Amino acid sequence: MVMKVFEERRSIRRFGDRPVEDEKLQAVLEAARLAPSWANMQCWTYVVVKDRETREAVSATLERNPAQRSVVEAPVLIVACADPELSGKVKDQSYYLVDIGISLQHLCLEACNQGLGTCWIGWFDEDRVKSILGIPENIRVVAMTPLGYPAVYPEARGRKPLEEIVFRERWGQR
């Protein structure tokens, strides 16, 4: 079941305008809520945007991004925010990015399970997004995703074979 979702999920960049049912929106947010996090601190906050004008303003911050149009086409935009103070930092590795990454991916996988499409968007003008949505100074906007019914379901993008990404017992040992 989970494996099927892993295999079928795609980054969806073209959407129809069919609205997302409230129960489905609730289910994907619930999936995000259940994610593990550093010391269970749950550093995340999600801003759910349905207002078209606001989505158009956010879309303008995605200049040249292949997902720019998706934010207007899909009826819902989910903006993933994190408070870095509510997570760990070890030797320059900031775990708030991991926390929100897991949580947002939970959301994306449940969306796929519900027949909905998502696309991680990490390339945007954070300052402009913060100002459009009134997000406080200390909060980072890490990513966003459109949420809606896919209009185009793309071919699977390739992945490296396991032999290339797994060492056994020691670095360098295949």
Ligand X SMILES: Cc1cc2nc3c(=O)[nH]c(=O)nc-3n(C[C@H](O)[C@H](O)[C@H](O)COP(=O)(O)O)c2cc1C
Which residue minimizes CB distance to ligand X? 122
Instruction: Check residue 112 for interaction with ligand X (CB under 6 A).
Output: no
Map the footprint of ligand X across residues 149-168, applying CB under 6 A: 157
How far is CA 3 from each of CA 10, 87, 89, 109, 110, rounded to the nearest angstrom? 13, 29, 31, 10, 12
Instruction: Check residue 66 for interaction with ligand X (CB under 6 A).
Output: yes
Give the residue carrying structure tokens 């879309």.
Answer: 59
Measured from the Cβ of residue 72, the count of other Cβ atoms closer than 10 Å reads: 17
Q: Which stretch binds ligand X (CB under 6 A): 35-43, 75-83, 117-125, 129-137?
A: 117-125
Instruction: Check residue 94 for interaction with ligand X (CB under 6 A).
Output: no
Map the footprint of ligand X across residues 10-29, applying CB under 6 A: 10-11, 13
CB of 71 to ligand X, least distance (A): 10
Q: Which is nearer to ligand X, 26 or 66 (CB)?
A: 66
Instruction: Check residue 4 for interaction with ligand X (CB under 6 A).
Output: no
Among 6, 50, 63, 122, binds ligand X (CB under 6 A): 122
The answer to whether the beta carbons of residues 59 and 71 sit under 8 Å apart is yes
Instruction: Check residue 119 for interaction with ligand X (CB under 6 A).
Output: yes
Measured from the Cβ of residue 99, the count of other Cβ atoms closer than 10 Å reads: 27
d(CA 44, CA 86): 9
Structure tokens at 159: 């992945």
